[in-house]
Structure 1
Amino acid sequence: MGNITKRGSRELVADGAKPLEEGPAAALHIRLYEAIMWEDCAAIRVLLRSHPVNRPMTILANSDSSYRLLLNQQTQSIIPIHLAAKHRKAQSLLCLLEHGADPEVRDTRGLTTLHLMLLHWPIISTTWTKPGNRIRRILTDIQNDAITCLRILCEHGAQVNARVDNSNKHSPLHLAITYGTYPVLSILAQNGAHINAVNESSMTPLHTAADMLNKEMMETLIACGADVNRVISSTGNTALKLAVSTASSKAGRTLAAGVNCIRLLLIHGAQVNAQDHEGQTAIHEACFGGREAIINLLLEFEANVNLLTRNGESPIYMYLQRGSNIRDTELLARLLHRSYPLRLTDNHGILPAGIMLPEFYLLRETLIKLSQRPLSLQDICKRNLRNIYGEKYKGHLKRLLPVKMWHSVYGFHDLAYLLK
């Protein structure tokens, strides 16, 4: 069963807040608070004659069911429209907007009404086909209330591209991705949100979603026009490289979910051989991670295993950095089968750290000899065919070539044979 999670729900405490003396102002704040929470629009309209709609109310910090102001209690300030949005009170929100509430008014953290709504969005399972019991129905109703409030805000001029006034400079779309508010993406896009907006780190919402391996959000963003090949200006990373980097550190079901995210990007045109500012590609990242499923997928989409980084590191060099990778001799053989010329050192002549381990002494010596041995013209042709057609089109090539020739190109040889 899903659950509701309130992100960043720490209440805003007004600077220098002091215990509020009971009196006319305190009573007015109590009544307005209660009217908003109970969605008593008639009472809200009356109370707004005495309380400016965009002026903060002072209430007890962390108050739940009790809205009374008591002496010697810590208080907090909250603007009426922020209260209605935070608690998804659609009727109160609409009433306040109709009486001049400014959706762009910010709290002391630099958050607008829309930002606060996204930070307090109810998170429930996205896998339910339909609510199956009373609790699920309640949770679904809560989320529907949030969607209603979001639509009301958008219809009344909320700036869907207003950035949070802090060091991150997140747009509403970035906030939606970060806090898992999946249903809001298409609504924000329909109301003019810039789908390729960048935050302070030059990351678009798709970069953020790919880095988190959130396939549902990635699908929605791509459907709304997200650029799958947009580059992060500071690093040169693409969404594909971020997804590969994150997925390479996962295992089990999380790894499978990561592979699906990578495939989604590749199917929608992600450039598999795009290089970042250091010259690394997705296959460099995948080889360092050593996850066979990711490496195979990138090879299926024609990843080039012979590209070098600015420091002269090949994908096979990255693979040989880690001892755990080297022990998978079958995958190592497959990579060696595609690598020509075999580059074992970087620009400084340094060998990968993994094969410098004592247990790999014989393998290291064999690989060094193999890298120094020129290939025959036949072997070079085979490698070129594998690199041109890759795994993706080998079935098509099988229909064109004689069976014996195809097996000589794609037939698997174990590591012992390759390293003779």
Structure 2
Amino acid sequence: MGNITKRGSKELEADEATALEEGPAVALHTRLYEAIMREDCAAIQVLLRSHPVNQPIPIPANSTSYRLLLNQQTQSIIPIHLAAEYRKAQSLLCLLEHGADPEVRDTRGLTTLHLMLLHWPIISTTWTKPGNRIQKILTDIQNNAVTCLRILCEHGAQVNTRVDNSNKHSPLHLAITYGTYPVLSILAQNGAHVNAINESSMTPLHMAADTLNKEMMETLIACGANVNCAVSSTGNTALKLAVCTASSKAGRMLAAGVNCIRLLLTHGAQVNAQDHEGQTAIHEACFGGREAIISLLLESEANVNLLTRNGESPIYMYLQRSSNIRDTALLARLLDRSYPLRLTNNQGILPAGIMLPEFHLLRENLIKLSQKPLSLEDICKRNIRNIYGEKYKRHLKQLLPAKMWNSVYGYHDLAYLLK
């Protein structure tokens, strides 16, 4: 091969200008598309003289993006959107410096920032450092995405602009939805409203708690998220949403969510906050019957005597499910804190679980127990437990005589109830 000399920018401009004069509009669009993809800023600058920077360009039929975008019923793309979706940092900067509007929307109502978040590369967050070539490549891709995001923010991208669709997601909501953890702090640093609500009145923290994404929850809280903000339509807090997901069948199988719940409680989540139906986190946890979550809420002084608007107590919710009832040790702990013992709701209906034939004797005994008044001694013991809770249980053990402590914190023996 002969020597290859590097062509100067003036020479390149002259060639491009000639090509534009001679070629049709299709050639112009193809050249601009290709220049953006290979980050050829000199070519982009020349081509923009003949093509408005915010006007869409047809996508070449042989490109990957053409095949992807066909599913979205579009065959064109705005230049800045192309650079953002494919994380072409130099092209993005060049387009912005030549008048590209980061707020221009595509046919789906998405701005450049929205599209960048939707196409954010997801890699493992557990790597301390890339361990092999593939990990190195993926890390470089994500670092490049961060660079593009910072460029957008520095050039006027509005970090609170909502998606123009039924969800009305802000960029932070989008980041939560698509798991783009690294962008949260960058958006917050550039003025994103961390407590913004979407069409469902949910904040980003609500969404992160609902999916038990601890990393995102930590970042949002560090950026000032209100842990006690309630969804206006339901009254649900982040704590109740996290408890609901963690208490589900999937949460139980995956042993997920305990750390998320502890995180919220540590940062001041109100454990006894009630939703519009009067339910609290302990109601939700008791219905799910997962001991680790119920224990954590009890340690944080959850009140097991609060009633819903329909008169349902946490013990009522626990007794709804037969699988819960078989855990007599946990049932004993809840009964030991429930006074007065409320077994029915406002309509006088008993929980569905204890109506099963196999729990006939238990049902009868619990009804008798609910009708039996406590002695003054038992009332005092319950008051001590309610005041000091599980939180100071070990501390009291060091202060009180063993016999007295065992008397205060001893649980009912429910064996007789099951005979």
Aligned counterpart, 2:386: 387
Question: Do the aligned residues in 1 keep the contact of 2:59 with 2:65 (CA within 8 Å)?
Answer: no
Give, in angstroms, the shift of residue 61 of structure 1.
Answer: 5.8
Give, in angstroms, the shift of residue 400 of structure 1.
Answer: 2.3
Q: Deviations over 1:204-247 (max 9, x none)?
A: 00000000100000000000000000011111100000000000
Aligned counterpart, 1:5: none
Letter paired with 2:339: Y
- 1:366-405 paired onto structure 2 within 5 Å: 366-405=365-404
In 2: Cα distance, 1:61 partner to 1:225 partner? 46
Give, in angstroms, the shift of residue 289 of structure 1.
Answer: 0.4
The answer to whether residue 136 in structure 2 is matched with residue 137 in structure 1 is yes
Give, in angstroms, the shift of residue 98 of structure 1.
Answer: 0.2
Letter paired with 1:225: G
Give TM-score, length-normalised by structure 1: 0.90
In 2: Cα distance, 1:131 partner to 1:250 partner? 35
The secondary structure found in structure 2 opposite 1:257 is coil
Moved over 3 A (4+): 250-257, 417-420
In 1: Cα distance, 2:311 partner to 2:285 partner? 17
Give, in angstroms, the shift of residue 413 of structure 1.
Answer: 3.8
The answer to whether residue 193 in structure 2 is matched with residue 197 in structure 1 is no
Give, in angstroms, the shift of residue 250 of structure 1.
Answer: 4.2
Aligned counterpart, 1:8: none
The answer to whether residue 149 in structure 2 is matched with residue 112 in structure 1 is no
Question: Do the aligned residues in 1 keep the contact of 2:365 with 2:417 (CA within 8 Å)?
Answer: no
Question: Do the aligned residues in 1 keep the contact of 2:246 with 2:252 (CA within 8 Å)?
Answer: no
The secondary structure found in structure 1 opposite 2:44 is helix
Letter paired with 1:107: D
**1:373 to 1:108, Cα distance in 2 relative to 1, 3 A:** same
- 1:58-137 paired onto structure 2 within 5 Å: 58-60=58-60, 63-64=63-64, 76-137=75-136
Aligned counterpart, 1:363: 362
Structure 2: tracts of 5 or more residues without a match: 1-22, 68-72
In 1: Cα distance, 2:65 partner to 2:83 partner? 15
Q: Deviations over 1:174-197 (max 9, x none)?
A: 000000000000000000000100
The secondary structure found in structure 1 opposite 2:64 is coil
- 1:178-257 paired onto structure 2 within 5 Å: 178-250=177-249, 255-257=254-256
Give, in angstroms, the shift of residue 252 of structure 1.
Answer: 7.2
Aligned counterpart, 2:24: 24
Q: Deviations over 1:47-86 (max 9, x none)?
A: 000110000001146822999xxxxxx9701000000000
The answer to whether residue 350 in structure 2 is matched with residue 351 in structure 1 is yes
Aligned counterpart, 2:166: 167
Give, in angstroms, the shift of residue 319 of structure 1.
Answer: 0.2
Give, in angstroms, the shift of residue 386 of structure 1.
Answer: 1.4
In 2: Cα distance, 1:343 partner to 1:66 partner? 63
**1:344 to 1:65, Cα distance in 2 relative to 1, 3 A:** closer
Letter paired with 2:315: I
Structure 1: tracts of 5 or more residues without a match: 1-22, 68-73
Give TM-score, length-normalised by structure 2: 0.91
In 1: Cα distance, 2:383 partner to 2:61 partner? 69
Letter paired with 1:155: E
Letter paired with 2:344: T
Query: Higher relative contact order at CA 8 Å, sep ≥6: structure 1 or structure 2?
Result: 1
Count of aligned positions: 392
Greater radius of gyration (CA): 2
Letter paired with 1:56: P
Aligned counterpart, 2:12: none
- 1:259-298 paired onto structure 2 within 5 Å: 259-298=258-297
**1:193 to 1:61, Cα distance in 2 relative to 1, 3 A:** farther
Give, in angstroms, the shift of residue 409 of structure 1.
Answer: 1.0
Q: CA RMSD in A?
A: 1.8
Letter paired with 2:28: L
The secondary structure found in structure 1 opposite 2:59 is strand
**1:239 to 1:66, Cα distance in 2 relative to 1, 3 A:** closer
In 2: Cα distance, 1:216 partner to 1:303 partner? 25
Q: Which moved more, 1:251-260 or 1:338-347?
A: 251-260
Give, in angstroms, the shift of residue 380 of structure 1.
Answer: 1.3
Question: Do the aligned residues in 1 keep the contact of 2:205 with 2:217 (CA within 8 Å)?
Answer: yes
**1:338 to 1:316, Cα distance in 2 relative to 1, 3 A:** same
Question: Do the aligned residues in 1 keep the contact of 2:202 with 2:231 (CA within 8 Å)?
Answer: yes
**1:123 to 1:416, Cα distance in 2 relative to 1, 3 A:** same
Aligned counterpart, 1:340: 339
Letter paired with 2:145: A
In 2: Cα distance, 1:382 partner to 1:61 partner? 78
In 2: Cα distance, 1:66 partner to 1:307 partner? 58
Question: Do the aligned residues in 1 keep the contact of 2:245 with 2:251 (CA within 8 Å)?
Answer: no
Letter paired with 1:273: N
In 1: Cα distance, 2:313 partner to 2:238 partner? 21
Q: Which moved more, 1:385-394 or 1:155-164?
A: 385-394
Identical positions, percent: 88
Question: Do the aligned residues in 1 keep the contact of 2:251 with 2:257 (CA within 8 Å)?
Answer: no
Question: Do the aligned residues in 2 keep the contact of 1:58 with 1:75 (CA within 8 Å)?
Answer: no
Q: Which moved more, 1:404-413 or 1:294-303?
A: 404-413
The secondary structure found in structure 1 opposite 2:309 is coil
**1:61 to 1:206, Cα distance in 2 relative to 1, 3 A:** farther
Structure with greater proportional helix content: 2
**1:192 to 1:376, Cα distance in 2 relative to 1, 3 A:** same
Question: Do the aligned residues in 2 keep the contact of 1:60 with 1:75 (CA within 8 Å)?
Answer: no
In 1: Cα distance, 2:366 partner to 2:124 partner? 50
